[in-house]
Structure 1
Amino acid sequence: MQDRKMEGAHNGSMFILSGFGKMDTFTYFYFACSLILFLATVFVNILLIAVIILEESLHEPMYICLSNLSVNELFGSSSLLPHLMANLLSETKTISYTGCFIQIFCLYNYGNVEAIILTVMAYDRYVAICNPLRYFTMMTKEKVYKLLTTAWLYSFFLILIIVALSLRLPLCGSTIEKLYCDNVSIIKLSCVDTSVNNIYGLFTIVVHFGIPLTIIIYSYIQILKVCLKISKEARARAFHTCGTHLLTFFSFIIGALFVLLGNRVNSKAVPSFVTVILSLEFLSGKLICPPGSSALGPMEPVTSPLWRREVLSQWVEFPNLLTYIAIVSANLLLMIIIVLEESLHEPMYILIGNLAANGLYGSTAFFPKLLANLVTEAPTISRTGCLIQIFFIHTNAGLEIFLLALMAYDRYMSICNPLRYTSVMTNSNLRKLIAAAWLFPICVFSVHFYLTLRLPLCGFIVQKIYCDNWSVVKLSCVDTFLNNIFGIFVTVLLLGVPLALILISYLLIIKVSIRASKDAQSKAMKTCATHLLAFLVFIFTFLFEVIQHRYNTRNIPYFIRIYMSVQYIIIPPLLNPIIYGVKTQEIRTRVTKLLKRKIS
């Protein structure tokens, strides 16, 4: 029997990718997300490569490295996403023996080339900031081309040895517990001793991640030392030029480290949904927003005689349009499911439905105007339109935190006072709480809105890609002391009070859970996990925006400030339907039934 398995594995047998078993209920949704991600990745990276090739002023070391990074990301995404999408629509989630090893080679090559190119970019920044007078002699085009050629060839031959060592192994199994093929999964299927593979694997990790990581850390320590000695203006310029590279590096290294740790230690305790997302993050996390996008800027793309602003903006618009369509589709689907399914007419699901409605409310205040500005010559907004956008976006944020606070209170009552739950969380009480959650932020912010409306303005440039209250207040010709005081009051009232309620609710839940049985603890964690995840997604993105308004963040690169300032508008409405749809069994079951009915 064992011989048969070994023989089959070496004669083109198929591997079963069991990671897809965790995605069965939302197959079409995952397919749509993967397709959007792949199309956006291809468009954005090809655009960046084309701009760098066609614009002669960008034929410099940093931009040449950026174009290679984009080529590598196209290479990596093409080796994963097309086959992943094909498997999502297939009844049998498999990959051929040859296809599996080709995928291993491509994905590992992608990871290694990425790490080396990021190292070359860190070295480029080090020379530019620490040795500016020697920069043009040290970082010539010829040297950069040699470094990049070495990066590709060195990685190619090193990974070729890994694949060769794995190809020689006789296999006694055919099930890979992932969405894609990786070398460690193949080694685990071997019938013989794999000491050589394990030792060479550790050597490769040290060489390909340890050495680049050391060089990058050393480069930035030296840059930091120089920055502490120079003027504030030069320091701000240094931070600006390094910020996007660091953002890209951290995005890649966090995802790659999770994959490495997942391969070396037991990660079965980690929820399957988290495992699936993080196992793909090292590849997909950066693809949708490559580091070169900082060169384009959010509203001021690079222009040249061949690449006029309106042409470039139409390319940038495509991913934003897909994101908006995804938000609208996912949130509408969630609302329809909750309305149509009577078994979901319970407090928690009604609150989830309101969260989805708020997601549509906020994203509709942001995306249509952004998309319109991307295809116009001058990105502008009328005074009335600006004030309307301010009102919608700020009330959206206030409502989001209040709904999350109500959901925390609902979980507290359900776990800490189960006998009183049905008498406290009645339909009548719930309607009152939800009405208060909608009306309270609207009423409070109406006063704030009126205070801004009365201000005479001496400027018209808002340093963002949307209107917000603080940006308009800063344009005022008169004293804004009253606006500032009331702004702090509103922040405390609309953020501090709900935040305190959420923290108290979860402290009490933890207190009760500690005394409960293991089964009860597991049940409590399961019922609270989705809400906590949604809360953390919102609060981290929103806190950056609050801090940015109250403190000087000019030293933070402009691209990062813009990128982070829109996260609380984009990420929660995009992720909330996925978080609640995937992790909530009742919603998941209903969506599956609806899709099966439509297909049949």
Structure 2
Amino acid sequence: MENGTYFYLMLFENIGYIKYTFFSLGIILYCTILCFNTFIILAICLERTLHQPMYILISCLSINSVFGTAAFFPRLLTDLLSDTHVVSREACLLQAFVIYSYASNENTILMLMAFDRYVAICKPLQYNSIMTPRILSVLIAISWIYPMLCIGIAGILNARLTMCGNKLWKVYCHNWEIVKLSCENTFINNVFGFFIVTTTIIMPLSCILYSYVKILIICSKSLPEFRRKAYQTCIPHIVILLNFSIALFCEVTLSRVTTLDLPLGLSIFISLQFLIVPPILNPLVYGLNFPEIRKKIICIIKASK
């Protein structure tokens, strides 16, 4: 095997029989994620009264969760039972593309959800003229295409690098870890990586923060009944946002800051939060907090019996 043609995922080496425990846990987590998110997608697709911007964006989150975890769990489960933990460079770059597209898409979808709530609460009379089906479709398309285009370009830049090593100390293919194995000047990769972080993480989070600050200001001046309804629809979004932001911050920090001296198991758990917790938490939060979604899910379950 030529150096740079294959990568070795070193964290799977010498884990002994505990790999069967991890495999069982992985199967349970993946099936749970697929099940929960499928129920959300079906409920919103099948119930015509849920064909509204807020619910459509919730279904986009679930679709994105299925998309992102499909690149992680099948490969993880295969590696856990395999004796050779080798992945081709092309497959590694593809996995990194999907996982980081998922993370970027999540941020842009959350930004659209914050914008939707901002228009609904701060400009209720203009809501139907602003959040039209056509405008919503364009916004959703941009929120998916732009991050994937950026991550794709980053992948092409990474593919052009000459590798001086092939050992990845991760359980999945990680863009920054691949770049660090290069023996070339990676200045362009680093600059473009910073550009991606700025446009797909920092800018969306700034827009989200602005939207919710404006919502809080409006709510503080409104009647109690209006304030209660506004909080009822915004709090689930804020919970999801905080959860994903913290998980993503932990992953980025662990990747970039090499001086952190944490136990290996804890480092792996923290780095995988953004791939495991949000896909499970999102459907739970929305399924439990929105009666319309909850009722339709119950109907689907009863009809399947």
Band of TM-score, shorter chain:
over 0.9
Q: How does 1:201-600 map to 2 (within 5 A)?
A: 299-300=12-13, 302=15, 309=16, 311-599=17-305
Deviation at 1:522, TM superposition (A): 1.0
**Which deviations, in whole Å up to 9, do the C-alpha atoms of 1:436-490 show, x marking residues without a partner?**
0010001112221111110000101001000010000000011111111111111
Q: Which amino acid aligns with 2:60?
A: N
Query: What is the rounded CA distance, in whole Å, between the counterparts of 1:524 and 1:298 in structure 2?
Result: 46
Deviation at 1:553, TM superposition (A): 3.7
SS at match of 1:459: coil
Contact 1:415–1:524, Cα closer than 8 Å, also in 2: yes
Q: Which amino acid aligns with 1:551?
A: V
> What is the RMSD of the two structures over their aligned residues, measured on CA atoms?
1.4
Max radius of gyration: which structure?
1
Query: What is the rounded CA distance, in whole Å, between the counterparts of 1:330 and 1:433 in structure 2?
Result: 25
**Which deviations, in whole Å up to 9, do the C-alpha atoms of 1:98-122 show, x marking residues without a partner?**
xxxxxxxxxxxxxxxxxxxxxxxxx
Show the counterpart of 1:164: none
Deviation at 1:517, TM superposition (A): 1.0
What's the TM-score, normalizing by structure 1? 0.48
Q: How does 1:85-100 map to 2 (within 5 A)?
A: none
Contact 2:11–2:169, Cα closer than 8 Å, also in 1: no
Q: Which amino acid aligns with 1:581?
A: G
Query: What is the rounded CA distance, in whole Å, between the counterparts of 2:11 and 2:42 in structure 1?
Result: 34
**Which deviations, in whole Å up to 9, do the C-alpha atoms of 1:135-170 show, x marking residues without a partner?**
xxxxxxxxxxxxxxxxxxxxxxxxxxxxxxxxxxxx
Q: Which amino acid aligns with 1:371?
A: L
Query: What is the rounded CA distance, in whole Å, between the counterparts of 2:100 and 2:234 in structure 1?
Result: 27
Contact 1:459–1:475, Cα closer than 8 Å, also in 2: yes
**Which deviations, in whole Å up to 9, do the C-alpha atoms of 1:359-405 show, x marking residues without a partner?**
00000000000000000112221111100001001111000000000
Query: What is the rounded CA distance, in whole Å, between the counterparts of 1:598 and 1:395 in structure 2?
Result: 33
Contact 1:416–1:509, Cα closer than 8 Å, also in 2: yes
Q: Which amino acid aligns with 2:91?
A: G
Query: What is the rounded CA distance, in whole Å, between the counterparts of 1:364 and 1:461 in structure 2?
Result: 23
Contact 1:390–1:468, Cα closer than 8 Å, also in 2: yes
Contact 1:398–1:441, Cα closer than 8 Å, also in 2: yes
Q: Which amino acid aligns with 1:358?
A: N
**Which deviations, in whole Å up to 9, do the C-alpha atoms of 1:405-461 show, x marking residues without a partner?**
000000000000000001100111100000000100011122211111100001010
**Which deviations, in whole Å up to 9, do the C-alpha atoms of 1:547-586 show, x marking residues without a partner?**
2233224412222211111110111111111111011111
Query: What is the rounded CA distance, in whole Å, between the counterparts of 1:298 and 1:323 in structure 2?
Result: 20
Query: What is the rounded CA distance, in whole Å, between the counterparts of 1:349 and 1:525 in structure 2?
Result: 16
Q: Which runs of 5+ in 1 are unaligned?
A: 1-296, 303-308
Deviation at 1:298, TM superposition (A): 6.1
Contact 1:334–1:353, Cα closer than 8 Å, also in 2: yes
Q: Is the alpha carbon distance of 1:335 and 1:376 closer, same or farther for their aligned partners in structure 2, counting shifts above 3 Å?
A: same
SS at match of 1:398: helix
Q: How does 1:174-185 map to 2 (within 5 A)?
A: none
Contact 1:298–1:562, Cα closer than 8 Å, also in 2: no
Deviation at 1:300, TM superposition (A): 4.3
Contact 2:163–2:182, Cα closer than 8 Å, also in 1: yes
Q: How does 1:134-173 map to 2 (within 5 A)?
A: none
Q: Which amino acid aligns with 1:479?
A: N
Runs (4+) of structure 1 exceeding 6 A deviation are none
Query: What is the rounded CA distance, in whole Å, between the counterparts of 1:313 and 1:378 in structure 2?
Result: 14
Q: Which amino acid aligns with 1:418?
A: P
The structure, 1 or 2, with the larger RCO (C-alpha pairs under 8 Å, 6+ apart) is 2
Q: How many residue pairs get matched?
A: 296
Query: What is the rounded CA distance, in whole Å, between the counterparts of 2:221 and 2:77 in structure 1?
Result: 53
Q: Which runs of 5+ in 2 are unaligned?
A: 1-9
Contact 1:301–1:312, Cα closer than 8 Å, also in 2: no
SS at match of 1:349: helix
Contact 1:298–1:559, Cα closer than 8 Å, also in 2: no
Query: What is the rounded CA distance, in whole Å, between the counterparts of 2:11 and 2:222 in structure 1?
Result: 51
Deviation at 1:301, TM superposition (A): 5.1
Contact 1:401–1:495, Cα closer than 8 Å, also in 2: yes
Show the counterpart of 1:271: none
Query: What is the rounded CA distance, in whole Å, between the counterparts of 2:48 and 2:11 in structure 1?
Result: 44
What's the TM-score, normalizing by structure 2? 0.94
Contact 2:219–2:227, Cα closer than 8 Å, also in 1: yes
Show the counterpart of 1:213: none
Query: What is the rounded CA distance, in whole Å, between the counterparts of 2:157 and 2:249 in structure 1?
Result: 23
SS at match of 2:178: helix
Contact 1:347–1:430, Cα closer than 8 Å, also in 2: yes
